[in-house]
Structure 1
Amino acid sequence: MGAMVFFRNQFANVVEWEEFREDMIFWKWGNREIKKGSKLIIRPGQDAIFVNNGKIEGIFEDDGEYSIDSEIIPFLSTLKGFKFGFNSGMRVEVLFVNTKEFTVRWGTQNPILIPTPQLPGGMPIRANGTFVFKVNDYVTLIDKIAGMKSSYLVEDVKIRITAVLDQLLMKWISREGKDMFNLQANAADIARGIREDLDMEMLDNGMTITDFRVMSFNYPQEIQDMITKTASHEMIGNLQKYQQVSMTDGIASGKVQGGGAASDMAGMMMGMNLANEMMKNMNGNQTDTGKKSPPDSAPASSGGSTKPNFCPNCGSKNEGANFCPNCGHKLG
């Protein structure tokens, strides 16, 4: 009895993800014999797939510790009638799959030349962002990748993505980049198109792209300087007003101080501007009243007479009389 217990313990083993890494998409427990009394350990975020001769026998998704002969074999499709012998075991492969979503940063290695009428050779553009993917089809994954590899890393997926990303960026920037000098405004549409194309590419491997984002587009420094300058002018709108405000801010902040040519120029400009504003206000007030000024009331002669030349009551011309010949108003 003691000898049988000894041999049973010798044959017992544990089936688990032995080389787990956060950036590992799947790992294959090699083609080894599973003995009676063996246990399967599934950790959170993992699925265990039993494979026999390239065919999926069973998929186990709940994390925990299971007895293979009593809790696993009864659920295997073609091996559920398997009986362990004293020296015989079950030879299968167990594929452990990481079920989480992987977020990957990407960036163009070289500038992408986007055709544009403004630049005959094309606009050299770099871009960067992130994409998110996960495994969604175990059958395809085993058929296309796991059947030939013992493990698969996020870096392997990134290499595959970046191999086609330049072409997709060129395609969708040309299609959705309505303003070649402001691609960020159309970044969402460009990213949506790229995600759909990448998803079709990754479906062949049993994976899906759940998100794709373009964080920024980068232009050559000369183009970027031109874009910044143009944007500044558009924001300013009125260049003269911008100069006035800038000069006033400079004086208020102490950056433009008395005694120098800059200060004298600033004072002169402010004085001229104030004078212009005052003249505009005066002219505006006169225009707004709409009233005619009363006729000139110059003296009748240079001899000191105070009699007006025109009657202030009716406006009739006066020839030096003391009373208006028209209305009789007293003039002197």
Structure 2
Amino acid sequence: MSFFKNQFANVIEWEEFRDDMIFWKWNNREIKKGSRLIIRPGQDAVFFNNGRLEGIFEEEGDYNIESQIIPFLSTLKGFKFGFNSGLRVEVLFVNTKEFTVRWGTKNAINIPTPQLPGGLPVRANGTFQFKVNDYIALMDKIAGVKDRYLVEDVKIRITAILDQLLMKWITREGKDMFNLQANAFEIAKGIQEDLDMQILDSGMTITGFNIMSFNYPKEIQDMITKNASHGMIGDISRYQQVSMTDGISSGKVKGGGTASDMAGMMMGMGMAKEMMKNMDQKEEPSNPTPTNSDAKDGTIPIYCPNCGTKTNGGNFCSNCGQKLVK
């Protein structure tokens, strides 16, 4: 008799758990006396009846349906009558963790820029984070028609619109197309807000969006690097020094030990010569001492042509008595 009494007893638990699974639905089965609910760490159990949310159980543990769950589900038809007949309900198990997903543009995005009529081809990559935050919306939009939902499903949905959002936020407010990494935080923040609006009605929220790097075609990257190096060079002598250094490191100045040493000596001598030249220029007085040629006939020179003492406008030098006006 006891066998028949408990033949419909069952265990309600997440049977097909995967770390990349957002939710899994236990459905279309009868709950009978002796049934148990098992909730593991990082899971919530959400009870639905006819599409209506009846209760959310968040604490992990092994629960007896009749003595521990029924008091919270008293509105469900059948529970209050002590299981006189089996009751079919849906239990949605939700993964409560925050998911981190890597993303990357499949194709280069051509960003409009005046410097390049065809647009600047840019690739980008990074990560985004999301989690479930609204069980009712999740049931209405997704879980109502699906028994399981994976991280890959969200990734496909996000990456489908990511290229458009990247173009929108890169071009907004005249971002520097050749230094996008400097604006990566602002661009990522704008994209996160837009993505959150896209999936909010599905019961999920974007908790973070990061851009790890922007990548240009090799030719564009070489041009950016070259322009940056030129901008760091203040004069032709420094340009020659940098060019010599680049030549040695790249192998264009060849010859093994002796040739490289000679090139290094030449570069060092050139740098020393330039330093001495700069020092000499700094030591030259800014106001050279005037000579007799500075004074014209009939005018009083500023300095005495005989001893160099300042005249202060007098007709005779106060130091040596030299007549100053011809």
Same fold (TM over 0.5): yes
Which of 30, 40, 45 is the equivalent residue of 1:43?
Answer: 40
Structure 1 distance, partners of 2:258, 2:82, is 103
Contact 1:176/1:186 (<8 A) preserved: no
| Equivalence for 2:104 | 107
Q: Secondary structure at the match of 2:202?
A: coil
| Equivalence for 2:163 | 166
| Equivalence for 1:300 | none
Worse overlay, 6-15 or 56-65: 6-15
Contact 2:6/2:33 (<8 A) preserved: no
CA 149–283 in structure 1, closer or farther in 2 if over 3 Å, else same: closer
Structure 1's unaligned 5+ residue stretches are 294-312, 316-325, 328-332
Query: What do the CA deviations read for 1:282-310 (whole angstroms, capped 9, x no partner)?
Result: 565563897899xxxxxxxxxxxxxxxxx
Query: What do the CA deviations read for 1:100-120 (whole angstroms, capped 9, x no partner)?
Result: 100000111111111111111
AA at the equivalent of 1:83: G
Asked whether 1:58 is paired with 2:55, we answer yes
Q: Secondary structure at the match of 1:204?
A: helix
Contact 2:27/2:88 (<8 A) preserved: no
Worse overlay, 195-204 or 234-243: 234-243
Instruction: Give the C-alpha shift of residue 7 in structure 1.
Output: 1.9
Contact 1:27/1:150 (<8 A) preserved: yes
Q: Secondary structure at the match of 1:10?
A: coil
What are the within-5 Å matches in structure 2 for residues 77-96 of structure 1? 77-79=74-76, 80-85=79-84, 88-96=85-93
Structure 2 distance, partners of 1:161, 1:283, is 63
- State the identity %: 69
| Equivalence for 2:203 | 206
CA 28–124 in structure 1, closer or farther in 2 if over 3 Å, else same: same
| Equivalence for 1:135 | 132
| Equivalence for 1:305 | none
Which of 266, 285, 288 is the equivalent residue of 1:287?
Answer: 285
Structure 2 distance, partners of 1:279, 1:185, is 39
CA 144–77 in structure 1, closer or farther in 2 if over 3 Å, else same: farther
Structure 2 distance, partners of 1:256, 1:289, is 50
Structure 2 distance, partners of 1:280, 1:108, is 51
Contact 1:177/1:183 (<8 A) preserved: no
AA at the equivalent of 1:287: P
What are the within-5 Å matches in structure 2 for residues 25-36 of structure 1? 25-36=22-33
Q: Secondary structure at the match of 2:75?
A: coil
Worse overlay, 232-241 or 208-217: 232-241
CA 177–10 in structure 1, closer or farther in 2 if over 3 Å, else same: farther
Instruction: Give the C-alpha shift of residue 243 in structure 1.
Output: 3.9
State how many pairs are aligned: 290
Larger radius of gyration: 1
Which of 144, 147, 165 is the equivalent residue of 1:147?
Answer: 144
Structure 1 distance, partners of 2:74, 2:234, is 74
| Equivalence for 1:184 | 181
CA RMSD of aligned residues (A): 3.2
Structure 2 distance, partners of 1:63, 1:165, is 37
Q: Secondary structure at the match of 2:285?
A: helix
Contact 2:33/2:66 (<8 A) preserved: yes
AA at the equivalent of 1:84: F
TM-score normalised by the chain length of structure 2: 0.78
Contact 1:177/1:190 (<8 A) preserved: no
Asked whether 1:14 is paired with 2:25, we answer no
CA 59–268 in structure 1, closer or farther in 2 if over 3 Å, else same: closer
Asked whether 1:215 is paired with 2:212, we answer yes
Q: Secondary structure at the match of 1:81?
A: helix
AA at the equivalent of 1:161: I
Query: What do the CA deviations read for 1:201-247 (whole angstroms, capped 9, x no partner)?
Result: 11110100000111111111111111111122223444523544786
Instruction: Give the C-alpha shift of residue 151 in structure 1.
Output: 0.3
| Equivalence for 1:308 | none
Contact 1:176/1:189 (<8 A) preserved: no
AA at the equivalent of 1:139: I
Worse overlay, 48-57 or 241-250: 241-250
Structure 1 distance, partners of 2:234, 2:277, is 24
Structure 2's unaligned 5+ residue stretches are 249-253, 292-305, 309-319, 322-326
